[in-house]
Structures are given as C-alpha cells and as structure tokens.
Structure 1
Amino acid sequence: MTLKAPFPWFGGKSRAASLVWERFGDVPNYVEPFAGSLATLLLRPHEAKTETVNDKDAYLVNFWRAVQADPEAVAAWACDPINEADLHARHLWLLAQGDFRERMIADPHHFDAKIAGWWVWGLCSWIGTGWCVIRERGDGRPSLQLPHLGDAGRGVHRKLPHLGNAGRGVHRKLPHLGDAGRGVALAAYLGQLAERLHGVRVACGDWTRVLGDSVTHKHGMTAVLLDPPYDDGEMEYSAGGAGIAGAVRDWALANGGHRKLRIALCGYEGDHPMPDSWECVAWKARGGYGSQGDGAGRDNAKRERIWFSPACLRPQRSLFDALPDVSA
C-alpha cells in the first residue's frame, strides 16, 4: 500500500517524489528540514536508512512523533464525527497549549496523543488555512492571533467545517477506510505509518538545526530536501515562514559544491537564480483550494521547480523524452 499523510497539506511534493528520488538515489542518509506531510519520505522507493526530519510547527511534529509511538491512541482521539461547536472549542484549546509547544522544542521524545488526534481531526475538518496558526511577536514569543477576528458577525473565528463529504473526518481519502469500523481502520493505517517511521528522527525547531555536519555528511552521502515556505505563496503556514526561502537558498548555494551532499531546492519559477551547474526540473502540482477557478493558485501549480545540486544523479533520457508534448 502507498502511504501518505492522513491530512491535507498545501505544498506537498507527492507528485514530484519520483523525480526527486531519481536524482537522490539510494543514499545512506536523508534530511528534510521542512517536514510537512512527509510525502517524499513516505514515497521513498528504497529501504529506509538514517533519516532525519524537522519542522518548526510543534503540532505537526507532535503528530508524527505520536504516530510513531502510539498510533492507536492517536486514532482514538482523532476518530470523531464532524461537529462545528467541537471544532471551534478544540481549536481554542489547542492554541492555548503553550507549555506543550515549549516541551516539543526542548524534549526530542515528547509527544501528546490527545493533541495529535485533535489536531489532525481539526485539520481534516477545517476549510482553507488558519488551523492552529501561531505567529511570533517582536519579542520572539508566540501570539495566539486567530483568523477573522476583525470580521463583523463572524464570532471568534467562524470557519465552517468541511461539509462536502458525509463523514469526511480524518479518513477523508485514505485507502480502504469506510464509515463502518472506521476507528479500527484508522488505527490500522496509522500503525502502518508508525512502522514506516520507525527509526526516523523527528526534530522540532529552526530548519538549520538539522543541517550541521553531524547530521548530514558525517553519515556519508546525504540527500537534503529543502522545501521552505514560498515567499510569494498564497497559503498561510501554521509556524510562519515569511522570508525563509532566501536564507534557505543561501545555504544551498554555500553547500551545493559539497561532494557528499545531494541537495534539492524547491520553489517557483524565477524564485531562485541558481548556477548553471544546478539542474532545474519543472513539474506540475495538484494544487489545493487556491487552484480552483482561474486564480493565481492554478497558475502557480505550473510554476513549480526543483533545483538539484551538482552531486545529484543525472538520469539518462531516451530520444523520446526530448519530443514536445502535443497532447495539450
């Protein structure tokens, strides 16, 4: 069975995973500083070796840690029908868990199955962005600003739950998860994710923390997938991220010549002026809410690019690969 995250995630790279691994190869070490949905890791065609992932979003990292350690407990907390009152009440409760977020950063083994279950349940019920958004204030402390506070008549954050599919919930699009016995099926699926994630090191914090020598090339040939929040993206990331893409590009340029580093940098066409020694590969994303209609989201899906450092493999192409696409 093909594994994927049991929640929607804007910016996921599942459609590009095959071309990424084609250029990374079967490396002994893999590092992903912006974990997100872990689409690329979950679609790895090789046997897992040393793998390290990281994200600044404490709720996201907690979900992956909790699934690793206790998938049945996560499923128990996540398997509830959609209820708008519960959605808003749980959102407020989750945002108030400041001590939890601090422990996630300080303790690499800490997780909370209840928070993980409620977080993924809400993420699958929520429409668009804004679920568990934490913004940093000028003093570096989190600001629990909620979406739509300024909209008259919307209450605290009157986001409607996703009502397009009966019984949507966490088991929205996962294989073989029907309404009958959905709790058992969800627990079984999360158990499969736990088995795949066994041994994966899941860090929570700044992206640079997992890019030191001791985490990367000291383990041999290392693949580094850099998929930072895009500077001109339409989506709101729960852990912030404005302006990070430039710093990530600088790191990629500074380390791109390392013989033991195979680096992939993701962005939109024109985002990253990279040297000619880097291979630029175009691909088309599926898109999310922003891709509906004729807006910028649909255009951005066609602007996706991945730049691969000189140490990456260059797949051999046949004569047919050079032929123009006349199907459009």
Structure 2
Amino acid sequence: MNGFERSGRKVSAFPYIGSKTYLAPWVVEHLCDHETFVVPFGGAAGVLLNKPRSRAEIFNDRDEYVVRFFEAVRDRSDELAEAVRDIPYSRGLYNEWSRQFRDPEQDLGEDLVEEAARWVFLRYASFSGRYGQRAGFATDTPRKGPQKSEIWARVPERIQLLRDRFKGVAIECGDYSEQFKRYDGDDVLFYCDPPYTEEKDNYYRGPLFDHAGLVETLRAVDGEWIVSYSEPPEGLEDLATAVVERSYNRSASLDNSDRPERLYCSYDPAAAPMWSVVAQQTLPATDGGEQR
C-alpha cells in the first residue's frame, strides 16, 4: 500500500491544466514492473509526486519555465521559498508579470529564483489554470473552503516538500522524442501524459501537439509505456495491448462534464508483472495545486 493510499492525500506542484494529481493512485495501480521511470511530458508531475520512488526517475518537459521551476525547487529551495513568501497575492503583480510572461522580448525575472517565484505565482493566480492565454486573476470568493490567497501563503512549505521528493530525480528539458531515444531499454517504463487531442493551443504554451507523431514514436519503443488520453489519436488503440478506462470530471473544461479517462498500455495490466515496492509516505495533501 502506498503512502497516498493510506492517507488519502495527493499533491501537485502547482495548478496546471491536465495534471493527473487526483488520478495518480489509479495510474500507479496500473504501472508494470520497472527499474527506471520516465515522464516525457512532465507538467506538474502529478503522478511522479504521488508514487513511491523507482530506482531511477527522469522528469522531462519541453517548456523551459516548467523545467527551471523544478531545478530551482531541487537546487535552491530555501531561496525560492523565501522569494515566494515575499510575493503578496496581488492583482497588480499578476497583471504585470502576466504581460511579461507572454512577451518574448522580456524576462520574467533577473535570475533563476526570481523567475521561478514569479512564474509559480502566475500558476496559482491564473483563473481556471489555462496556460497558453491570459485567463484573468483568480480572486478570493465568499464561498467556503480555502481561499486563493490562503493557498498561495502555503506554497513556501510546499516547495520544501517538493525538494525532498525531487532529490535524485533527473530533470530534462526537450522534446519527448529525445527522452525515448535517450532512456529506452529493458526495465524502463514511460508514463506519457500528452495534451488532450480535443484541446486547442490556448490551453498550453507552445505549438499544437503532433499526436500522430507520438503514435509513430511509440511503435519503435523497446521498453514499456502507458499513455493517458481521453480521446485517443488514430492508431493508438490498435498499437496498445490493453486499455483501461474510468470517468473523470475535468473541472477546467468548458462544459465541466464527466468524460472518460483512458490508459493505453503496451502491456496487459491484468497479466503483466506489476510494480511492487516498499511503500513510503508521500507529500501532504494538495489544497488547490491542481487544475483540470
């Protein structure tokens, strides 16, 4: 039994569209036996943060802001926590830094720590978690439950906990295909959480994703893989050995409806040797760290 199964607690590094934080226990249940765990589409690291450690773990994202945030967490966590603590939950700062973030001619910060602190503030302060467009400032409301400003005030503590989990994790910044070439082999499991096929470019930063290219890449992989999709691209279901499905409410979707979440596996979870490790305590509960 894993730590999150005992406690019912799950954590995400920051609010991020498509994060698998709340689905992490379900995903982990379907991981086959492996020595090396590779996440080619890192995002908020929802699954990685909520699983016990593998012998070797690799986190990759093509977005340099995501990668530099985790590098700051791992290597300069005390400075980052202090920088975050000094940022008030301010609409004015959100508007200023949001403009800078979307201006290719401006830097979001003067060094790694300042940039990471301002960037993660934008993740917490952006309404609905949309990343590829300015979504507006997420204000506190009269409703019950933790307020946005209250959640932001807890982020310095979260950074210290993220640091502990990311010790020993290799961090890469590149296209997913580079990670398949670099790490493919026996006893390797790739967990892929690409953008959804139905999402548009205003949800994510960067160009529209080539789903057909991912399918072709998977055809050549020697290790095992498991891919999260709601609606798969053409050819993936034929390539997969097994498909596991459940319904899931994506709160950041436009219609706020339940949709299927599917795991496409290169192996059969009902027949393959499944991953078994000594359970360890995972990070404390998320209190608003995921957007879907």
Q: Tell whether the structures are fold-level matches, with TM greater than 0.5.
A: yes
Separation in structure 1 between the aligned mates of residue 107 and residue 10 of structure 2, nearest angstrom: 28
Find 2:21's aligned residue among 14, 21, 31.
14
Q: Compute the displacement of 1:289 (Å).
A: 2.5
Q: Compute the displacement of 1:129 (Å).
A: 5.2
Residue 17 of structure 2 contacts residue 130 of structure 2 at CA under 8 Å; is this kept in 1? Answer: no
5+ residue gaps in structure 1? 102-110, 134-146, 148-156, 173-181, 317-328
Separation in structure 2 between the aligned mates of residue 188 and residue 39 of structure 1, nearest angstrom: 18
Find 2:193's aligned residue among 219, 227, 230.
227
**Structure 2 residue aligned with 1:199:** 168
5+ residue gaps in structure 2? 1-6, 274-292
**Structure 2 residue aligned with 1:28:** 35
Taking structure 1 as reference, are residues 167 and 312 closer, same or farther at Cα in structure 2, changes over 3 Å only?
closer
Find 2:60's aligned residue among 51, 54, 62.
54
Q: Compute the displacement of 1:7 (Å).
A: 2.0
Separation in structure 1 between the aligned mates of residue 245 and residue 157 of structure 2, nearest angstrom: 36
Secondary structure of the 1:31 match is: strand
**Structure 1 residue aligned with 2:183:** 215
Separation in structure 1 between the aligned mates of residue 253 and residue 30 of structure 2, nearest angstrom: 29
Secondary structure of the 1:302 match is: strand
- Provide the alpha-carbon RMSD of the alignment: 3.0
Q: Compute the displacement of 1:124 (Å).
A: 0.8
Per-residue deviation, residues 261-301 of structure 1 (Å, max 9, x unmatched)? 1211221245344237611111223412326xxx2x41xx4
Find 2:48's aligned residue among 35, 41, 44.
41
Secondary structure of the 1:62 match is: helix
Find 1:271's aligned residue among 216, 220, 233.
233
Taking structure 1 as reference, are residues 72 and 240 closer, same or farther at Cα in structure 2, changes over 3 Å only?
same
Greater RCO structure (CA 8 Å; 6+ sep): 2
Q: Compute the displacement of 1:26 (Å).
A: 4.5
Identity of aligned residues (%): 18
Query: What amino acid maps onto 1:267 in structure 2?
Result: Y
Q: How many residues align?
A: 259
Q: Compute the displacement of 1:18 (Å).
A: 2.8
Secondary structure of the 2:89 match is: coil
Taking structure 1 as reference, are residues 98 and 314 closer, same or farther at Cα in structure 2, changes over 3 Å only?
farther
Per-residue deviation, residues 141-172 of structure 1 (Å, max 9, x unmatched)? xxxxxx5xxxxxxxxx6823333377524835
Residue 81 of structure 2 contacts residue 160 of structure 2 at CA under 8 Å; is this kept in 1? Answer: no
**Structure 2 residue aligned with 1:248:** 214
